[in-house]
Amino acid sequence: EVRIDGQCAIVTGGARGIGRAYTERLRSMGASVAVLDLSFDEEHGVDRPAESGRGALLGISTDLTDEKAARAAFAEARERLGRVDVLVCNAGGGTGAMWENSPLSMDLNALRRAYEVNVASMALSCREIAPGMVSAGRGKILTVASTAALRARSDGGYAHYASAKAAVIAFTNSLAREVAPAGVTANVIVPGAIGTERLLPKMEAMGMDSVLRDIPLGRLGTPEDCANALEFLAGPLSDYITGTVVRVDGGMMI
Ligand code: NAD
């Protein structure tokens, strides 16, 4: 088990889905976590104080596609945490049916929205937090792409989301290069087919058999599988690793 007691982290989109598993994992590693998300449910119990061996949890509601609101939310997170050692840019996602938005029938509004939600929100998060890490001479940044960025669907669909997630990888490369001299790292987590509440109905609509046929390890991934990669990438065992892509996809890209 990797411990980062006393450290502070920000997780965007950490109220539900895979982001929630990142949040809970960081807390059990000993870090205090500020979650920036659109909304929180009662059962999330945000603003929980630190418990023994577990970090505190703060929730800040914001829309990361609204620059002014998002800047204020990051300022609040910085102030309440006092320091930021780990930034996880997880907010994002696809929109529409998987077979929609092929390059031959692209809805430009869907394309713009995919770039706002996945690329601009991630770039803004890094811009607000990375300079402080550079000044401090330490920090770990994780961004989140998708196997969609690495391999096209056979029906051409989802090109809006795939290209947005490819941009996340390219942006993270640029960032990793720029912050490396200060000792700050930046890496990308690339989930495959993870069975979250949001994605399960889409996979069921596509046919679960065809989804599973595509995964050599023969099962859907879980948010915990993604959190296992995060535990390595957010802690000291990955100190010499930057600018990499870690796939959590059951071998889907082999
Ligand atoms: P999810 O929809 O379950 O959770 C996303 C969270 O981000 C939600 O809490 C949502 O409220 C928040 N969010 C979305 N837009 C926001 C905004 N503008 N401002 C603030 N918060 C916002 O998604 P998930 O399946 O857990 O996916 C998490 C990340 O992993 C996403 O970037 C997604 O693209 C990526 N991913 C997921 C899968 C998968 O199989 N589920 C596969 C590949 C990549």
| pLDDT (0 to 100) of residue 199 | 87
What ipTM did this prediction achieve?
0.99
CA of 220 to the centre of ligand 1 (A): 17
| pLDDT (0 to 100) of residue 151 | 96
| pLDDT (0 to 100) of residue 42 | 73
Mean pLDDT by 10 residues, the chain (254 residues): 97 96 97 97 79 94 98 98 98 90 95 98 98 98 98 92 98 98 98 92 89 96 98 98 98 97
| pLDDT (0 to 100) of residue 99 | 85
22 a catalytic residue: no
Superfamily of the domain at 8-246: NAD(P)-binding Rossmann-like Domain (3.40.50.720)
CA of 91 to the centre of ligand 1 (A): 5
Return the residue whose CA atom lies nearest to atom 1 of ligand 1.
17
- ∠ CA 120-245-70 to the nearest 5 degrees? 20
| pLDDT (0 to 100) of residue 44 | 67
Residue of 43, 90, 224 best suited for mutating to test ligand 1, as the one with most atoms within 8 Å of CB: 90
| pLDDT (0 to 100) of residue 45 | 67
| pLDDT (0 to 100) of residue 55 | 95
| pLDDT (0 to 100) of residue 69 | 98
226 token code pair? 């993604």
